């Protein structure tokens, strides 16, 4: 396949009779920051959930670094109900659980922050290191992996320092201010050593100054960790400033794609966001 880091082919998600995402095809290239935008309920988070394995798509395929990681076609009852496009294009079925996807190198954050609330900042990040640990249960219980454990702790500390959370390391996660919680979620995602980072509304609930900081921060981690970033966002200032390319979803369908300038001047995007006058 092509050299895209992430490629979605005709991805469709149908819940009962509702088509949440319809025939979405798009790609993200290495080192890019790509944004997925759209009005509320457009199917953005559903698209994320399909990429990360939370939902198995009803139809379509996903490729990561050129390899197929997920593929599905309508089955059972859905065969009759299916209303999306490109039916019959994906004969094979390949479904993965979220932990397997994360292991491949795709990490994510959540729209409504999902930290391990009662654990400390340090533990939150340290837990994410568990996946890459090679020790078995017995080795870990009897501390035969002391060297690995030390390395895990050192890396966690290094991450916290980079993300300026080091002085909060023993704080319970739920006690952090909102902006720091968002930052911790990103730190935790980075601890899984991803090559592709999915951010689900990283600036939600942030004021303009915090948003500006976040913009710089995302660029910085992209460069420092050699990441590709794919994000959902509502703050247009952030999206327009940071994105290399933008995809626009409305009612589950892709209505526009291109550079920030192209998208900004696209009539369909303007209509989707501002609405069309009835008498027009």
Partner 1 sequence: MKKGTKRICSLVLLVLIALLLFWLEANKSGQGMLISILQKSAILAIVAVSMNLLNGFTGLFSLGQAGFMSIGAYITAILTIPVVNLDGVYYMNGVAPWVRALKEGMEAGPSWLQSVYPFLALIVGGLVAAGFAALIGIPVLRLKSDYLAIATLGFSEIIRAIFSSPQMDTITNGSYGLNKVPTFPKFFGLPSLFTPFIIAGVTIALMVLLINSSYGRAFKAIREDEVAAEAMGISLFRHKELSFVVSSFFTAISGGLLAMFMRSIEAKTFSIALTYDILLIVVIGGIGSVSGSVLSAFLVTASKEWWLRFFDQPLTIGGWQVPLFRTGFRMVIFSILLMAVVLFYRRGIMGNSEFSWDGVARLPGRIKGWFSRKRPAHEAAGGDGI
Q: Is 147 in the site for partner 1 (CB under 8 A)?
A: no
Considering the complex, state which of residue 42 and residue 107 has its C-beta at the smaller distance from partner 1. Answer: 107
Stretch that binds partner 1, among 14-22, 73-81, 184-192, 264-272 (CB under 8 A): 184-192
Q: Is 110 in the site for partner 1 (CB under 8 A)?
A: yes
Could you tell me the CA-to-CA distances from 71 to 11, 92, 127, 279 in Å, in that order?
9, 7, 30, 43
The binder of partner 1 chosen from 130, 158, 226, 268 (CB under 8 A) = 130
Q: Is 149 in the site for partner 1 (CB under 8 A)?
A: yes
Stretch that binds partner 1, among 11-19, 25-33, 143-151, 254-262 (CB under 8 A): 143-151
**DSSP codes of every residue in 99-127:** HHHHHHTEEE--SS----TTSBHHHHHHH
Considering the complex, state which of residue 145 and residue 243 has its C-beta at the smaller distance from partner 1. Answer: 145
Q: Extract the tokens encoding 258.
A: 């291109």
Considering the complex, state which of residue 99 and residue 224 has its C-beta at the smaller distance from partner 1. Answer: 99
**Nearby residues of 193 by Cβ (< 8 Å), 6 or more positions away:** 105, 132
Residue pair 206/214 in contact by the 8 Å Cβ criterion: yes
**Nearby residues of 177 by Cβ (< 8 Å), 6 or more positions away:** none
Handedness of CA 96, 98, 99, 102 (dihedral sign): positive
Closest distance of CB 14 from partner 1, Å = 22
The binder of partner 1 chosen from 42, 126, 232, 239 (CB under 8 A) = 126
Stretch that binds partner 1, among 23-31, 139-147, 213-221, 235-243 (CB under 8 A): 139-147
Q: Is 119 in the site for partner 1 (CB under 8 A)?
A: yes
Burial 142-168 (b: 16+ CB within 10 A, else e): eeebeebbeebeebbeebbeebebeeb
Q: List, in sequence order, every residue forming a beta bridge with 14; answer none if it has no partner.
A: 19
Within 217-256, which residues bind partner 1 (CB under 8 A)?
none
**Contact letters (x/-) for partner 1, 7-26, by CB under 8 A?**
--------------------
Considering the complex, state which of residue 48 and residue 90 has its C-beta at the smaller distance from partner 1. Answer: 48
For Cα atoms 193, 183, 204, give the angle at the middle one, nearest 5 degrees.
Answer: 120
The 196-200 sheet, strands edge to edge: 106-108, 196-200, 228-232, 33-37, 245-250, 253-258
Q: Is 152 in the site for partner 1 (CB under 8 A)?
A: yes
Instruction: Give me the residues that bind partner 1 (CB under 8 A), please.
Output: 52, 54, 97-100, 102-103, 107-108, 110, 114-119, 123, 126-133, 135, 137, 140-143, 145, 149, 152, 188, 191-192
């Amino acid at each position: 396949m092509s050299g895209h880091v992430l490629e979605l082919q005709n991805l469709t998600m149908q819940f009962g009779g509702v088509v949440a995402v319809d025939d979405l095809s798009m790609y993200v290239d290495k080192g890019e920051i790509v944004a997925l935008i759209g009005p509320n309920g457009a199917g953005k988070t559903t698209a994320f959930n399909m990429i990360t394995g939370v939902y198995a798509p009803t139809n379509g395929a996903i490729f990561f670094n050129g390899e197929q990681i997920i593929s599905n076609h309508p089955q059972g009852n859905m065969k009759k109900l299916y209303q999306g496009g490109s039916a019959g294009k994906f004969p094979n079925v390949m479904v993965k659980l979220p932990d397997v996807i994360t292991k491949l190198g795709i990490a994510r954050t959540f729209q409504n922050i999902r930290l391990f609330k009662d654990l400390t900042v340090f533990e939150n990040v340290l837990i994410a290191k568990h996946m890459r640990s090679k020790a078995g249960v017995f080795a870990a219980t009897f501390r035969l992996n002391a060297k690995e454990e030390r390395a895990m702790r050192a890396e966690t500390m290094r991450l916290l320092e980079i993300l300026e959370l080091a002085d909060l390391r023993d704080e319970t996660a739920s006690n952090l201010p909102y902006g720091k919680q968002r930052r911790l979620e990103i730190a935790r995602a980075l601890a899984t050593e991803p090559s592709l980072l999915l951010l689900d509304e990283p600036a939600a609930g942030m004021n303009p100054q915090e948003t500006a900081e976040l913009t710089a921060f995302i660029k910085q981690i992209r460069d420092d960790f050699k990441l590709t970033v794919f994000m959902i966002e509502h703050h247009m200032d952030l999206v327009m400033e940071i994105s290399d390319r933008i995809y626009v979803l409305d009612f589950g369908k892709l209505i526009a794609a291109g550079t920030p300038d192209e998208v900004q001047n696209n009539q369909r995007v303007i209509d989707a966001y501002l609405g069309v006058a009835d008498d027009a």
